Structure 1
Amino acid sequence: MSAPRLNPPFRAEHIGSLLRPTELYQKRALFEEKKCTPQELEAVEDEAIKRVVKMQQELGFKGITDGELRRGMFFEGVFETMEGMTFVPNRPLSEFKEYVPFISMMKAFGMTEFPSIFCTGKIKRTVSWYAKQFEYLKTLVPPEEVKNIKVTICPPTWFHQRHGSDLTYDLSIYKNDDEYFSDLAKAYREEIAHLYSLGCRNIQFDDATFCFLCDDRMIKGMKESSVDHTSLLETYIKAMNWCVQGREADLCVGIHMCRGNFKGGVHYSEGGYAPVAQKLFQDLDVNCFYLEYDNERSGDFQPLKYLPLNKVAVLGLVTTKTPQLESVEELKARIYEAADIISEGVPPRSKQDALNQLCLSPQCGFASVWEGNPLTEEDERKKLGLVAEVAKQVWG
């Protein structure tokens, strides 16, 4: 049995977020200081998005994004827009789970509070999250390329992991996780269907919650807190599957498995994919997995042996955290190494079929928060150009 070619994703991919061009960076800084209006910011965003779209087109990328240039943080635009969700600007860290690595890091720095969300009522999607942004992006690509535009969305599990089943939602509103995620998934399905009606055929979930379940520190802390990490993994897979249930057959859904990418490119979690790979690859209802593999904390390729025949792994081999360029030959060698492991996996397949199940990308976005990673726009272009060149040499 041959592994199918899925298109999208494309051989050369990027995760979604891009560095803010200088003009936008400066305007965003003013906006954060309340020194310019949303309308003034939006005008600069429009021009910056034109610029980053042109860059992607020039480099040969098909899965065009707006670089998330309208977001302060990658997850903005979802939870805070829904009825039933209350934004808490100064939520005490005592209401966060300390076993989550970045929470313990914040406490070590002496922080006592952090912005978050609390579910205070029945969840309902009343406005579209990203339709306006998608419609603008449509005007910047040829009509035949609209289907390739990629929209990135945070996962339904984003706030739940940091607060747990006891502090994510009002227990008088939702009695358990299934009730909470059921209504949340309905909102996600409505948004996905709306985007599809506008021409979107490519959606990527940016998820850090699964990689946290690969971190020994997190698992140790969960056990000490009597939280069953295996059960939580199953809950999160179910929640994600509910979000994409019933989608159209030609909608490509991917998930980026992220280890954190905060200000300056700081990561939060460590550890290879082995603890979650078999269940994720086989049970998560997505078309492709964007996997971070840029350094030793990512582990080896052995978990790829569980990749089913009908799914794609996008190897994030090019780091976005430093400007140093990787070697073309080393990248090619790593791609072929991954293909060898997949070919000997469950079930086995030819090396060519295994290679056809792979794509190449940077390991993460360049700016998951608006301040971005410690690279220049020229560094970013070189990194993306490297991805495109290696993909061309490997797959033609």
Structure 2
Amino acid sequence: MSGSERFLLVGSLLRPDELQTYNREIESRDDITYPFYDDLEGYAETEGKAVSEVVNKQIEAGIPEVTDGEFQRSIWHLDFVWGLDGVERSIGDSGWKFQNDTDGFEEGTFETRKDIDVKVVATLHSNNHTFIDHYKRVSEEAGDHSVKLTIPSPAQIYNEFVRSMSDENGYSNDVYPTTDDLGEGLVQAWKEFVDEYTAVGGEVLQFDDCTWALFSKDNPIGYYTQDGATDETVKAHAEKLVSLNNAVVDYAHEKGLTVYTHNCRGNYGSRYAMGGSYEHVANYFLANQNYDRFYLEWDDDRAGNLVALEAFKDKPETEVVIGFLSSKKSGLADKEAVLAELEEAAKYIPKDKLYLSHQCGFASCDGGNDLTHEQQWNKIKQGQGIAQAFWGE
């Protein structure tokens, strides 16, 4: 089956076994230095071969915009942070908490990998960032084919840093004494990366961002469940994150980049992190951020009603990619149900601005979701077929 211009990939794909051998060693060691190539013999060569193969696999499959499958990183967002000057990586005492039961919610039933602790130890800078070499490798392999690079949003990392540098007494850091200082430092580092990216011909940048469900009143572990939370305090924090993201997005636009965002509620080994519907955050996340394209997770009831898409009514040029398909499940989707969902979404988003995807990538962290490579590509093929049926390609 040929590809579809209306079916898109979020970014990550399942890693091959030979690359996973190195991934597991990286996960267990904090005596090695990012990007780890000098510490692990054969890692760079194995990674390069895997990237070449996955780029060509996507092109052959008819994917409109290709990535490296995120093969050149361990964790969807932290490798980018490790590549900044001024950051210290370490293995923590605990990992993130995800949900074992995909049909219900019980906080903290599954603990992830623990090499997730990050701390700011010097002024943040993007200086010869490793992701620039990653992009160049993919671009050279892809030739004339469109390439996008995925990185975390500054808002995502702002939240990560505040969490990792806070204790019972609150936030504390010698380099950035206040959270406002931290936000300014992050924006500056992201702008420096934008400069590096455009200098080597980068055209499309995607900011991955899992923060927004935390602002939903129906999220069992969101900000509204914290002591002392009010509409005013939550709104102020949301506006802070919007301003951080928009500062970089607007700068990237000035430099000629097209900028996307992807949002989900966590994706780790076919598990999710939290609930939280879009209706409660639409006026912040959807209406007020200046992205050219939004990838939205909508593969189950946690996302809420599609009426949240009304937030785009005053943004006629914005493209919306709806993740009605699930990368967490090994089986194929109900085609007719997805077509019906697309019809409903088209009531809010013009059909020529609408796209289909899975709710997230297949391997946000290098361990990947619980399915085989064959099942992954079968799900991609089905997505292309559904898109062809809906858009009449």
Give TM-score scaled by structure 1 length: 0.83
Q: 2:235 aligns with which of 219, 230, 239?
A: 230
| Aligned: 1:217 with 2:221 | yes
Any conservation in 1 of the 2:326–2:359 contact (CA below 8 Å)?
A: yes
Alignment of 1:342-381 (within 5 A): 342=349, 354-381=350-377
Write out per-residue CA displacement over residues 277-315 of structure 1, whole angstroms, 9 at most, x where no aligned residue. Answer: 122222111111100011111212110011121211100
Deviation at 1:162, TM superposition (A): 4.7
Percent identical residues: 25
| Aligned: 1:322 with 2:329 | yes
Separation in 1, partners of 2:13, 2:316: 31
Separation in 1, partners of 2:99, 2:175: 29
* Bigger fraction of residues in helix: 1
Any conservation in 2 of the 1:116–1:159 contact (CA below 8 Å)?
A: no
Any conservation in 2 of the 1:292–1:316 contact (CA below 8 Å)?
A: yes
Any conservation in 1 of the 2:215–2:224 contact (CA below 8 Å)?
A: no
| Aligned: 1:150 with 2:152 | no
Separation in 2, partners of 1:110, 1:355: 40
Letter in 2 for 1:160: Y
| Aligned: 1:270 with 2:275 | yes
Separation in 2, partners of 1:151, 1:239: 20
Letter in 2 for 1:376: T
- The match for 1:241 is 246
Separation in 2, partners of 1:84, 1:370: 24
Write out per-residue CA displacement over residues 154-204 of structure 1, whole angstroms, 9 at most, x where no aligned residue. Answer: 122334325648729644433433321112111111112221221221111
Any conservation in 2 of the 1:87–1:118 contact (CA below 8 Å)?
A: yes
- The match for 1:116 is 117
Unaligned runs of at least 5 residues, structure 2: 101-105
Deviation at 1:80, TM superposition (A): 2.3
Unaligned runs of at least 5 residues, structure 1: 1-8, 343-353
Deviation at 1:51, TM superposition (A): 2.0
Separation in 2, partners of 1:29, 1:217: 30
Deviation at 1:231, TM superposition (A): 1.0
Deviation at 1:238, TM superposition (A): 0.5
Deviation at 1:32, TM superposition (A): 4.8
Separation in 2, partners of 1:369, 1:194: 25
CA separation of 1:245/1:296 partners in 2, compared to 1, >3 Å: closer, same or farther?
Answer: same
Deviation at 1:105, TM superposition (A): 4.6
Q: 2:198 aligns with which of 196, 199, 206?
A: 196
Letter in 2 for 1:362: H
Deviation at 1:21, TM superposition (A): 1.8
Higher relative contact order, chain-length normalized (CA < 8 Å, sep 6+) = 1
- The match for 1:177 is 179
Separation in 1, partners of 2:110, 2:331: 29
Give TM-score scaled by structure 2 length: 0.84
CA separation of 1:323/1:218 partners in 2, compared to 1, >3 Å: closer, same or farther?
Answer: same
RMSD: 3.0
Write out per-residue CA displacement over residues 345-380 of structure 1, whole angstroms, 9 at most, x where no aligned residue. Answer: xxxxxxxxx111111111101001111000100111
- The match for 2:53 is 51
- The match for 1:253 is 259
Any conservation in 2 of the 1:101–1:218 contact (CA below 8 Å)?
A: no
The 3-state SS of whatever aligns with 2:180 is helix
Which of 290-299 and 227-236 deviates more? 227-236
Letter in 1 for 2:225: G
Letter in 2 for 1:259: R
Any conservation in 1 of the 2:128–2:196 contact (CA below 8 Å)?
A: no
Write out per-residue CA displacement over residues 308-352 of structure 1, whole angstroms, 9 at most, x where no aligned residue. Answer: 21211100011001111113332222111101134xxxxxxxxxx
